[in-house]
Amino acid sequence: MLTRLMEAHPLVRWGRSAHLTSTIPDGWYDIADALFGEIEACLSEDELALFHVASICPRRGQLLIILEGNYTEEIGLLVDGLAALSRLICQECGGQDALFRHPAVNLTLCDFCEHERGVRIRRSRSMPNR
């Protein structure tokens, strides 16, 4: 997903280790794509050159984007808004209905994905060791 996002937004600078420290769950790709599209639309190439994306990763049930360098307050607010929005969207499928936050692992899932994940967990525990 990260490679796809990088290719979709060639004007955004990506830190050298971004590909090592970043992951985007499938359900959050669209909101990350929209964020970087908005960033590219509201900044000049010179302004975009002043900062880079250091990391994108799920943390505590939300999508966290870490920027390094000099960026405007507006960009900071857009990134904070994305984090808040990601708390309302299933990280597996992108659904927005009846979200479940798993307290132990900090996942943000819709009812369907929570059930599917639960089924997978139960099945994996009940399978005999080979």
Q: How many CB atoms lie within 10 A of CB 127?
A: 8
Residue closest to 36 by CA, chosen among 13, 9, 14: 9
The answer on pLDDT for 122 being more than 50 is no
What percentage of the chain reaches a pLDDT higher than 90? Answer: 56
Q: How confident is the model at residue 108 (pLDDT cuts 50, 70, 90)?
A: confident
The answer on pLDDT for 97 being more than 80 is no
Domain extent at residue 29: 2-126
pTM over 0.85: no
Res 19: pLDDT:
73
Res 117: pLDDT:
73
- pLDDT tens for 44-64 read 999 999 999 999 999 888 999
Describe the crossing of helices 29-42 and 73-86 by its angle, rounded to 10 degrees. Answer: 170
* Mean per-residue pLDDT over the chain, rounded: 84
Number of domains comprising the chain:
1
